[in-house]
Amino acid sequence: MNLLNQIKEKVRKAFVDCGLSAENTLVRLSDRPDISDYQSNGALPLAKSMRQNPRALAEQIAEKLRLDLFFETVSVDGPGFINMKIANEVLGKNLFPILADKKCGYERPDTSKTIVMDYGGPNVAKALHVGHLRPAIIGESIKRICRFVGDKVIGDVHLGDWGKPMGLLITELQDRNPALPYFDPNFTGEYPQNAPFTGKDLETMYPIASQHAKEDEAFAARAHENTKLLQDGHRGYRALWKHFISLSVADIRKLYDELGVSFDLWRGESHVHERLWKMIERLRANGTLIKDQGAEIIPLGKSKNGNDLPPVIMVKSDGGVMYAATDIATIEERVEEFHPDAILYVVDARQGLHFEQVFLASQKIGIAKNVSLEHLGFGTINGTDNKPYKTRSGGVPTLRYLIDTAKEAALKKMESGEMGRDLTPDEKASISQIVGVSALKFADLINERIKNYVFDEDKLTSTEGKTGPYLLYAMVRMKSVLEKMNEPATLLAGDTVQITTPAERQLLLRLYALPDSVQTAYDNRTPHVIADYLFKLAQDFNLFYHDCPIKDADKETQQSRLLLTKYTLHVAETVADLLGLQVPEKM
């Protein structure tokens, strides 16, 4: 049993021994580390309901707890807080049974769930940009946290491959290269295996096509028509479209790989095309769909707050479909195929209304009966002017640009000072990639998901303080110490840590506290809680490193400190993995 649960159990027993209800013992990490490690506030509400003096009640409970040698001290302070300080021997002895396993003492209070996660949302033929950073990074971390606590998670990239952009591209290509067989209505042969363009071509072509549509009505109308033809199965367009997808997916996958973000499914909106039309037929037949202004809609009435909701448009007046419809069909597919307890959408918070509509419509048509649908929105990345982040030259920063900028900053840092002077150029290149990407990811993960945050390019390239490189540096130090002392990283039963300084005690307590952070992060789907834990762990380690010499310590102290370093590394690596951060061997 982990430390918090052991204390909870002891306090619960003390409440019961006093003849009190142990329903709400309110045991948690102490707010006052100067006087205690853990506290129980349970006596306060209890005293209120029993109309008793809270301090006297707390004192009764404390008296029971003092009998246990587990605690160094138990005191009653303020209006009736019970403050508990754990005995040093307890902290030093329980490392192996609690922290040595893969879960570092995490114990799940409920049963395992099956979860489908939707956290990518890249678009075919469009370069990944700053807007794709948060869903990828946050989604990946939430996925890892869910898996860590024991959920079965299926991650789906949910590619944008079915809408108007496809029609725009087809039309642009038609104008540029009308002789291609895809545009020849009389062509009956096999279309070429290889695309007559590259992924880069697509990326440059799309913004031009988009601009054409804005300036030229005829072009826009043709693009519209071509989108419809593609969706209806136009043979040549489908062949062309397959080229779009295979080229884009290759590029997209490469970038996600660099970010350490992966998906189990690479499906797109198009994947549910046939299912969607069957669904539409069914809804027409049972009278759910209503004709309105030429479109076919699902009216939603009022939301839970009593305000009118716009309807979901299942079929547009031109007979085509859009993303609300494909999202609904996708829910049906996911429910049928995976029977999930929950479907999580890590998507921009500005899509809030869209998801409210989609979720409500899905419930209304009966396809989401036993599944919790959650939109985990995130805020936008703003520049220092508090407007959506742009590069210094004013463009939308691509993911490539962000990664490269971060990488260069890491490299520059390595070459400027004393750091990494014995590294080869190859090592520097691979290390700066790891450090740069971690800097980028951590700068995002440390912020609370729902809030907009200000992204300063200086922050991205900074390596001091609350940054990715700070964490990595601490972890590299742990590895370095063990290596220099020829100490294997394996953990053994029976080893104990002796606490001789406050730094060691603080670090130990931090190690034991991981499960609590994991639980909070899991319950609220907030990776920043984990990111914050890792930062504090790194701080605690750096203090320990500074205050507690290892090499020159006596044999016994040295062993104890090496052991503490090993456990810290074990926990830190586990946590870094939850955030999706890679850690270099040296830096």
Interface segment toward RNA; rule CB under 7 A; list 103-111, 185-193, 392-400, 467-475: 467-475
How many residues of this chain interact with RNA, rule: CB under 7 A? Answer: 110
Of 382 and 391, CB closest to RNA: 382
Reduced to 3 states, what is the DSSP secondary structure of residue 396?
coil
Least distance CB 232 / RNA (angstroms) = 14
Does residue number 114 form part of the binding site for RNA (CB under 7 A)? Answer: no
Of 375 and 494, CB closest to RNA: 375
Of 180 and 423, CB closest to RNA: 423
Backbone φ, ψ for residue 88 (5° rounding): -55, -40
Of 72 and 89, CB closest to RNA: 72
Of 231 and 398, CB closest to RNA: 231
Does residue number 535 form part of the binding site for RNA (CB under 7 A)? Answer: yes
Amino acid, single-letter form, for residue 93: K
Ranges within 487-516 binding RNA (CB under 7 A): 516
Kindly list the strands in the beta sheet with 81-86, ordered across the sheet, starting from the edge strand earlier in the chain. 27-29, 38-40, 81-86, 71-77
Counting every residue, how long is the chain?
A: 587
HEC letters along 92-133: HHCHHHHHCCCCCCCCCCCCCCEEEEECCCCECCCCCEHHHH
Ranges within 226-255 binding RNA (CB under 7 A): none
Provide CB contacts within 8 A for 585, sequence distance 6+: 476, 479
Of 111, 188, 194, 305, which one interacts with RNA (CB under 7 A)?
305
Does residue number 269 form part of the binding site for RNA (CB under 7 A)? Answer: yes
Provide CB contacts within 8 A for 384, sequence distance 6+: 454, 456
Interface segment toward RNA; rule CB under 7 A; list 242-250, 255-263, 365-373, 476-484: 476-484
Interface segment toward RNA; rule CB under 7 A; list 13-21, 57-65, 194-202, 380-388: 380-388
Of 99, 69, 105, nearest in space to 87 by CA: 69
Binding mask 64-83 for RNA (x = CB under 7 A): -------------xxx-x-x
Of 154 and 213, CB closest to RNA: 213
Of 56 and 339, CB closest to RNA: 56
Ranges within 153-212 binding RNA (CB under 7 A): 160, 162-165
Of 2 and 467, CB closest to RNA: 467
d(CA 174, CA 487): 66
Of 226, 224, 231, nearest in space to 162 by CA: 231
Reduced to 3 states, what is the DSSP secondary structure of residue 345?
strand
Reduced to 3 states, what is the DSSP secondary structure of residue 373?
strand
Of 267, 334, 413, 566, which one interacts with RNA (CB under 7 A)?
413
Contact 40, 27 (CB under 8 A): yes
d(CA 5, CA 515): 10
C-beta atoms surrounding 471 within 10 Å:
26
Of 6, 17, 18, 35, which one interacts with RNA (CB under 7 A)?
35
Helices (H), 262-398: 273-285, 323-338, 352-364
Does residue number 45 form part of the binding site for RNA (CB under 7 A)? Answer: yes
Ranges within 139-158 binding RNA (CB under 7 A): none
Interface segment toward RNA; rule CB under 7 A; list 56-64, 281-289, 318-326, 494-502: 318-326
Reduced to 3 states, what is the DSSP secondary structure of residue 478?
helix
Q: What is the DSSP letter of 196?
A: S
Does residue number 418 form part of the binding site for RNA (CB under 7 A)? Answer: yes
Ranges within 345-364 binding RNA (CB under 7 A): 349-354
Least distance CB 353 / RNA (angstroms) = 4
Does residue number 470 form part of the binding site for RNA (CB under 7 A)? Answer: yes
